[in-house]
């Protein structure tokens, strides 16, 4: 099967969860033997990144990051990574025409839309071909505005999403709750919704844990932005109740903003609630779980490291990238929690 994915971001250069989800889906599909193509609209493309860490930031014009391409099926040209994934980059202005050309010449079996931002591309393909369209509804824009308290642009963006939902042959929701939420806003789409959850690609361990995990001391890890739409209010409200039942439980919150204590209903000991801060390396939350203690992320120190490597010589804004120290260099710099003696 040949699938063409439509997106504005792809790892390692990502804006948030969408890029991570798209990368995981495409990579897993390629490993399963399917032929994957990615039409990256205006996003920055970096493949076979030796550091393997996520870069956060807006990608510049597609031509600025054009990599060496080669001819593939149908006479098209694409950048091909080690997994065989075909990447096509286009600007906003040329994306619709490029999408129609790829659909006709590369001949995918399915068009997989990941964001309504590029709905005009999917719409152009749908109007001029008979290729089935799958729309992956990573979030419901109206709910982001009404329930998640996101700003006005989310509501304006929902018009394109409504068109995509109405036109797609199949809709994918991330969970049963998301399916029900989507159906509550668009009941006519209920029969076209299927639930497929996101997965996690866990990188290989970089050495043994710094210390054995403490028996009887569960560690709860939250990784994500600490905002209303992520359910952070419910999580903070649940912590005191969890501690009543399991007093030795610890919570590591990886994300920003870092100061959560004013939002707590009752005080929690510092050793049991550890705000890690914003993590720019996708393996850092996993490292916190493996080693039983999270590391704090210092963005100012990361920028200084970048400047020392010469990144500051380029006046153009660059995606933010932070180096995370190896766990084998000693754990004293992390927030260590020792087992009770």
| Composition of the chain by helix, strand, coil, percent to 5 | 35, 20, 45
pLDDT at residue 5 greater than cutoff 90 = yes
Cα–chain center distance at 341 = 40
Give CATH for domain 2-195: 3.40.50.2000
Query: Would you list the domain boundaries of the chain?
Result: 2-195, 219-307
Higher-scoring residue by pLDDT: 114, 308: 114
pLDDT digits (tens, 9 = 90+) for 253-265: 877 655 555 556 5
Contacts of 287 (CB under 8 A, 6+ apart): 206, 294, 295, 324, 327
**Considering only CA atoms, which of 277, 216, 268, 270 is closest in space to residue 237?**
268
pLDDT digits (tens, 9 = 90+) for 136-183: 999 898 887 777 665 566 666 788 999 999 999 999 999 999 999 999
Contact 54, 14 (CB under 8 A): yes
- Least-confidence region, from 240-244, 267-271, 333-337: 333-337
**pLDDT value at residue 228:** 73
Residues of the chain with pLDDT > 70, as a percent, come to 62
Please list the alpha-helical segments (H only) found in 111-247: 119-128, 141-146, 153-167, 176-185, 232-245
**Considering only CA atoms, which of 91, 145, 114 is closest in space to residue 4?**
114
**pLDDT value at residue 269:** 67
Residues of the chain with pLDDT > 90, as a percent, come to 38
**Considering only CA atoms, which of 183, 189, 201, 187 is closest in space to residue 165?**
189
- Least-confidence region, from 71-85, 109-123, 215-229, 284-298: 284-298
**pLDDT value at residue 47:** 78
Beta strands per DSSP E along the chain: 2-7, 13-14, 35-41, 55-56, 70-71, 77-80, 86-90, 110-113, 133-136, 170-173, 193-195, 219-223, 250-254, 273-277
pLDDT at residue 51 greater than cutoff 80 = no
pLDDT at residue 302 greater than cutoff 60 = no
Distance between CA atoms of residues 112 and 3, nearest Å? 7
Q: Biggest alpha carbon distance in the chain?
A: 70
Distance between CA atoms of residues 84 and 82, nearest Å? 5
Average pLDDT of the residues of the chain: 75
What Cα–Cα distance (Å) separates residue 117 from each residue in 20, 146, 154, 161, 220? 17, 19, 11, 8, 34
């Amino acid at each position: 099967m040949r699938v063409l994915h439509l997106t504005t971001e792809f790892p390692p250069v990502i804006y948030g969860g969408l890029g991570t989800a798209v990368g995981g889906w495409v990579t897993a599909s390629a490993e399963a033997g399917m032929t994957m193509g990615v039409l990256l609209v205006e996003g920055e493309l970096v493949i076979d990144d030796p550091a393997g860490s996520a870069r956060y930031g807006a990608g510049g014009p597609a031509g600025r990051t054009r990599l060496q391409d080669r001819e593939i099926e149908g006479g098209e040209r694409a950048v091909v990574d080690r997994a065989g994934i075909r990447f096509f980059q286009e600007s906003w202005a040329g994306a619709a025409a490029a999408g129609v050309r790829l659909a006709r010449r590369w001949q995918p079996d399915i068009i997989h839309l990941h964001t309504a931002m590029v709905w005009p591309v999917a719409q152009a393909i749908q109007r001029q071909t008979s290729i089935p369209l799958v729309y992956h509804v990573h979030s419901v824009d109206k709910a982001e505005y009404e329930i998640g308290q996101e700003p006005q642009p989310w509501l304006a963006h929902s018009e394109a999403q409504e068109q995509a939902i109405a036109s797609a042959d199949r809709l994918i929701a991330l969970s049963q709750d998301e399916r029900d939420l989507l159906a509550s806003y668009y009941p006519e789409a209920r029969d076209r919704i299927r639930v497929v959850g996101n997965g996690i690609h866990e990188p290989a361990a970089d050495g043994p844990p710094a210390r054995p995990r403490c028996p009887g001391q569960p560690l709860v890890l939250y990784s994500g932005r600490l905002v209303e739409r992520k359910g952070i209010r419910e999580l903070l409200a649940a912590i005191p109740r969890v501690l009543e039942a399991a007093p030795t439980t610890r919570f590591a919150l990886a994300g920003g903003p870092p100061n959560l204590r004013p939002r707590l209903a009752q005080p929690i000991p510092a050793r049991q609630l550890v705000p890690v801060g914003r993590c720019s390396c996708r393996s850092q939350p996993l490292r916190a779980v493996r080693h039983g203690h999270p590391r704090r992320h210092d963005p100012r120190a990361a920028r200084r490291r970048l400047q020392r490597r010469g990144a500051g010589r380029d006046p153009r804004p660059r995606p933010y990238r932070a180096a995370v120290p190896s766990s084998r260099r000693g754990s004293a710099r992390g927030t260590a929690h020792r087992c009770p003696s």
